Amino acid sequence: MATSKRPETFVRTQFVSLEAVSNRTGVTTRRVRYLERAGLIGPAESDQHIRLYSEETIERINTIERLTNDLGVNLAGVEVIMNMREQIISLRQLSGLPGESSRNPG
Q: Is the dihedral of CA 104, 76, 68, 28 positive or negative?
A: negative
What amino acid occupies position 52? L
Please report, for the chain, the start and end positions of each structural domain, with discontinuous segments joined by +: 15-100
pLDDT in the model for residue 20: 94
CB atoms within 10 A of CB 101: 8
pLDDT in the model for residue 77: 97
What amino acid occupies position 97? L
Burial class (CB in 10 A: 0-12, 13-18, 19+), 84: exposed
Mean pLDDT in each 10-residue stretch from start to end of the chain (106 residues)? Answer: 51 81 96 94 79 92 97 97 94 82 50
pTM of the entire structure? Answer: 0.74
pLDDT in the model for residue 100: 61
pLDDT in the model for residue 106: 45
pLDDT in the model for residue 61: 97
pLDDT in the model for residue 51: 84
Domain 15-100 belongs to what architecture?
Orthogonal Bundle (1.10)
How many CA atoms, within 13 angstroms, populate the side-chain half-sphere of residue 84?
A: 6
